[in-house]
């Protein structure tokens, strides 16, 4: 078979497919089933992601902890467990099935010059069809690409996040990367990470029309990029160029290397002065039991005792998780930058939970989809309370012993919540600037809803009992001291 025929094979298959499907539809081409699995990344002919689907539902994201082989939620995890940071599937009779050799599909997709690839359904099925990257169709069946979270949404030391690269077409039809110096074109004032952040803000629920347009420069020329149409326009000459967004390719071999290499966070390494530096497993966490005579214990106990005075504290433990602490500090810095350097509002708040979730929370932080809802009146997120008495209602236990966290929370700038919120709303007059959290009352907030878990650090675990008698192993002196004001 000569090389010319080989090069023409994809178009031949494509034309044959189009002719066949004008009068009939493949049995695979059922509409996507309702629910989270149908909300994965889909593109229209311009190559852009629908705003409703661009911020992938948590159920459609590949779990970063599972890739590192450390997901504590295991089968309760709401994310997809897969060995690669991407997963290509097609819809077959209402069920999503994996495509064969998806690493080759991913490699092709990462190349902006390619808009389709010929591939097989599976290794045992030699039926080939065309996977169109623009329409996200595999023959007549819907296709989707699942992936890990965008790298711009996670701290820099998170491995195997998805690096999205942004390109524009020049006058010769060649794709050029934003922010890269070229021989023929001046460098743009925005790079891929800038565009990715702006794009995700535009795709977020509640963003207004202003967020769809981003203005930038390249040399003496001024442009605007339209995220809705996926084009850029020269504001002087009116020239319009296509834009596309593709992931940076990561091979299965690179995945294995990154899984075995410990990537250290290059941010500040300082830990709280009261932490035990000899108990810092990396990765992982350590629970440090506090002495009831220590000031640290008394501060936690006093906050708890203020609204639950007739409950007896059995034990207070400090959670030392270096990875979560570094992520929390990174998030604090990001919020401070966004707010013009203003100090972020940080509070200690309570969260009641079941003892069965404690270790998973210590390892991977709070996740309301796994640990359960504490109500939805002010939004769908993790609920934290100023008063331990409120959180006690969610401290589920089959015994008399209960568990509650005292967490450190970056509440930032907040607004009154609503049951319909899946994230904080945009600030009025700022299309892509959002509040940090939601509350039950602006005048006297006592309930805070957090939608981004990087804003939380699970600092202390309080084990307590509603029993009026000392629990076995807890001294009478300790119980009396707790009852009469906590001085021991």
Mean pLDDT by 10 residues, the chain (488 residues): 48 45 40 35 41 53 87 82 96 93 96 94 79 95 95 86 96 93 85 93 76 91 95 96 97 90 55 91 89 97 97 97 92 91 96 92 84 72 96 85 97 94 83 88 96 95 78 43 39
Q: Which two tokens stand for residue 236?
A: 């002087």
DSSP-derived secondary structure for 214-242:
EEEEETTEEEEEETTTTEEEETTT--EEE
d(CA 224, CA 226): 6
Q: Which residue carries 């078979």 as its tokens? A: 1
Residue 419 covered by a domain = yes
Q: Which two tokens stand for residue 454?
A: 């990087």
Question: Which of 246, 434, 440, 457 lies closest to 362 in space, CA to CA?
Answer: 457
- List of long-range contacts for 122-130, beta carbons under 8 Å, 24+ apart: 122/97, 122/98, 125/100, 128/13, 129/13, 129/17, 130/10, 130/13, 130/14, 130/17
Residue 379 covered by a domain = yes
Same-domain check for residues 294 and 225: no
Alpha-carbon distances of 399 from 312, 395, 466, 470, 479, rounded to whole Å: 14, 11, 10, 15, 19
d(CA 208, CA 203): 10
Domain containing residue 333: CATH number: 3.90.228.10
Q: Which two tokens stand for residue 244?
A: 């596309």
Q: Which two tokens stand for residue 488?
A: 């021991």
Sign of CA dihedral 35, 36, 37, 42: positive
Same-domain check for residues 304 and 355: yes
d(CA 403, CA 394): 9
Kindly report the backbone phi and psi dihedral angles of residue 290, in degrees, each rounded to the nearest multiple of 5, phi listed first.
-90, 145
Same-domain check for residues 234 and 371: no
Alpha-carbon distances of 347 from 273, 303, 406, 407, 467, rounded to whole Å: 18, 12, 10, 8, 29
Residue 451 covered by a domain = yes
Q: Which residues contact 458 (CB under 8 A, 6 or more apart)?
A: 319, 321, 324, 361, 362, 365, 366, 405, 407
Count CB atoms within 10 A of the CB of residue 296: 15
Q: Which residue carries 């493949």 as its tokens? A: 26
DSSP-derived secondary structure for 147-166:
EPPBGGGS-TT-TT-B-EEE
Q: What is the CA radius of gyration of the chain?
A: 26
Residue 445 covered by a domain = yes
Residue 195 covered by a domain = yes
Same-domain check for residues 233 and 340: no
Q: Which residue carries 């020329």 as its tokens? A: 221
- Predicted TM-score (pTM) of the model is 0.65
Q: Do residues 465 and 409 touch, judged by C-beta distance below 8 A?
A: no
Same-domain check for residues 319 and 399: yes
Same-domain check for residues 338 and 390: yes
| Total count of domains within the chain | 2
Q: Which two tokens stand for residue 167?
A: 């390109």
Q: Do residues 180 and 193 touch, judged by C-beta distance below 8 A?
A: no
Q: Which residues contact 46 (CB under 8 A, 6 or more apart)?
A: 134, 229, 230, 231, 242
Q: What is the Cβ-side half-sphere exposure of residue 404, based on CA atoms within 13 angstroms?
A: 35
Same-domain check for residues 370 and 230: no
Same-domain check for residues 367 and 454: yes
Same-domain check for residues 308 and 448: yes
Same-domain check for residues 313 and 404: yes
For residue 21, what pLDDT is reported?
44
Residue 433 covered by a domain = yes
d(CA 307, CA 391): 10
Question: Which of 81, 126, 136, 133 lies closest to 101 in space, CA to CA?
Answer: 126
Q: Do residues 309 and 484 touch, judged by C-beta distance below 8 A?
A: no
Same-domain check for residues 344 and 208: no
Q: Do residues 316 and 461 touch, judged by C-beta distance below 8 A?
A: yes
d(CA 54, CA 441): 31
Q: Which two tokens stand for residue 448?
A: 């805070």
For residue 426, give the DSSP letter: B
Residue 485 covered by a domain = no
Q: In what order do the strands lie in the sheet with 231-234?
A: 175-177, 164-169, 240-247, 231-234, 221-226, 213-218
Q: Which residues contact 35 (CB under 8 A, 6 or more apart)?
A: none
DSSP-derived secondary structure for 306-320:
TT-TTSEEEEEEEEE
Same-domain check for residues 341 and 400: yes
Residue 70 covered by a domain = no
Range of the domain at 404: 286-465
d(CA 163, CA 150): 6
């Amino acid at each position: 078979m000569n090389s010319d025929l080989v090069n023409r094979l994809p178009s031949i298959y494509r034309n044959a497919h189009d002719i066949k499907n004008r009068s009939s539809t493949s049995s695979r081409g059922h509409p996507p089933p309702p629910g989270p699995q149908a909300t994965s990344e889909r593109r229209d002919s311009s190559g852009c992601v629908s705003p409703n689907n661009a911020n992938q539902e948590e159920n459609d994201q590949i779990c970063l902890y599972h890739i590192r082989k450390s997901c504590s939620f295991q089968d309760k995890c709401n994310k997809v467990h897969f060995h690669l940071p991407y997963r290509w599937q097609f819809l077959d009779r209402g069920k999503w099935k994996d495509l064969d050799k998806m690493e080759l599909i991913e490699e092709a997709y990462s190349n902006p010059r390619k808009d389709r690839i010929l591939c097989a359904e599976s290794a045992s099925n030699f039926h080939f069809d065309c996977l169109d990257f623009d329409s996200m169709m595999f023959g007549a069946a819907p296709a989707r690409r699942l992936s890990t979270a965008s790298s711009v949404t996670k701290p820099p030391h998170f491995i195997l996040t998805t690096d999205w690269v942004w390109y524009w077409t020049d006058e010769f039809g060649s794709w050029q990367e934003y922010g890269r110096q070229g021989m023929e074109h001046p460098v743009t004032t925005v790079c891929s990470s800038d565009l990715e952040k702006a794009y995700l803000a535009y795709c977020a629920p509640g963003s207004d029309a202003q967020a769809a347009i981003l203005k930038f420069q390249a040399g003496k020329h001024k442009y605007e990029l339209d995220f809705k149409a996926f084009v850029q326009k020269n504001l002087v000459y009116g020239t319009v160029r296509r834009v596309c967004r593709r992931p940076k390719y990561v091979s299965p071999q690179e995945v294995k290397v990154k899984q075995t290499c410990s990537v250290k966070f290059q941010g500040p390494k300082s830990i709280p002065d009261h932490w035990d530096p000899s108990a810092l497993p990396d990765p992982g966490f350590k629970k440090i039991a506090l002495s009831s005579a220590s000031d640290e214990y008394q501060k936690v106990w006093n906050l708890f005792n203020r609204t639950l005075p007739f409950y007896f504290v059995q034990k207070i433990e400090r959670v030392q998780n270096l990875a979560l602490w570094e992520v929390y500090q990174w998030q604090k810095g990001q919020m401070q930058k966004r707010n013009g350097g203003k100090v972020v509002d940080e509070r200690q708040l309570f969260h009641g939970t079941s003892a069965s979730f404690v270790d998973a929370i210590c390892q991977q932080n709070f996740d309301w989809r796994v640990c359960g809802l504490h109500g939805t009146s002010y939004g769908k997120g993790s609920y934290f309370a100023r008063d331990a008495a409120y959180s006690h209602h969610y401290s589920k236990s089959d015994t008399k012993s209960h568990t509650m966290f005292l967490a450190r929370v970056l509440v930032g700038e907040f607004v009154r919540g609503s049951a319909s919120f899946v994230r904080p709303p945009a600030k009025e007059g700022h299309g892509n600037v959002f509040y940090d959290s939601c509350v039950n009352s602006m005048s006297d907030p006592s309930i805070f809803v957090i939608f981004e878990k990087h804003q939380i650090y699970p600092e202390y675990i309080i084990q307590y009992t509603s029993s009026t008698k000392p629990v076995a192993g807890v001294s009478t002196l300790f119980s009396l001291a707790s009852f009469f004001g906590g001085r021991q």
